[in-house]
Amino acid sequence: MKKTATMLLLIAFAYSLIWSKCSSHDAQTQQTNDSTKVGTGPQELAYVPIDSSLFAKPGEIQGWVNKFDDASIEAHAWNLWGGLTALTEQKYPVKDTADKYHIPQVSMAVFNTWWDEYEVFNPPATRAARTTLRFHGPRQAASAAGKASADVHSGEVMSFNKYSKEFLDYVDAHQFYYLKSLTDLKKNQVKAIPTDFEAKKSMMLKPTFIVASPDKPVLIPYWKGPSMTVAGTTDPDRPVSTTWTQWVLFNPTNQNIAPGTPFTTQYSRKDGSLHDTTLTQYEVVGRDYFYYLPLAPADISYIKAGNIFTIGGVSPDSMKTGDLALLIGCHVTSIEFFQNWTWQTYWWSPHPSKTPPASANVKPPFTHYDMMPCYYMIDKNKQPFISQNPYLEPSIIAPIVLYDKFSRGLGVRSNCMSCHHSAAFPTANMDPSPASMLIGSYIGAGDVQPDNNIFRQGTPNQRVQTNFMWSIILLKQAVTSPDGKDSLGIYLNPNK
| Number of residues that this document lists for the chain | 496
Instruction: List, as one string, the DSSP characters of 157-194.
Output: -EE--EE-HHHHHHHHHHTTTSHHHHHHHHHTT-SB--
Question: Range with the lowest mean pLDDT among 82-96, 300-314, 327-341?
Answer: 300-314
Expressed as residue numbers, the domain containing 242 is: 2-28+53-492
What residues have CB less than 8 Å from 130, skipping those under 6 apart? 28, 31, 44, 45, 115, 119
Q: Is residue 47 part of a domain?
A: no
Q: Is residue 99 part of a domain?
A: yes
d(CA 11, CA 23): 18
- pLDDT tens for 177-186 read 999 899 899 8
Output the average pLDDT for the chain. 83
What residues have CB less than 8 Å from 177, skipping those under 6 apart? 120, 121, 122, 123, 171
d(CA 361, CA 81): 9
Q: Give the model's pLDDT for residue 14.
A: 36
Q: What is the mean pLDDT of residues 262-285?
A: 94
Query: Does pLDDT of 312 surpass 60?
Result: no
Q: Is residue 195 part of a domain?
A: yes
Q: Is residue 328 part of a domain?
A: yes
- pLDDT tens for 17-76 read 333 333 333 222 222 333 333 223 457 889 999 999 999 988 899 999 999 999 999 999
Higher pLDDT, 275 or 12: 275
Q: Is the pTM of this model over 0.85?
A: yes
- pLDDT bucket at 340, cuts 50 / 70 / 90: confident
Query: Does pLDDT of 339 surpass 90?
Result: no
Q: Is residue 148 part of a domain?
A: yes
Question: Range with the lowest mean pLDDT among 68-72, 348-352, 433-437?
Answer: 433-437
Say if CB 20 and CB 434 are below 8 A apart: no
Query: Does pLDDT of 89 surpass 70?
Result: yes
- pLDDT tens for 255-264 read 999 999 999 9
Highest mean pLDDT among 28-42, 54-68, 117-131, 147-161: 54-68
Q: Is residue 34 part of a domain?
A: no
d(CA 442, CA 396): 9
Q: Is residue 46 part of a domain?
A: no
**Number of folded domains that form the chain:** 1
Q: Is residue 17 part of a domain?
A: yes
The torsion of the CA quartet 357, 358, 363, 365, rounded to 10 degrees, works out to 40
Question: Range with the lowest mean pLDDT among 60-64, 171-175, 176-180, 317-321?
Answer: 317-321
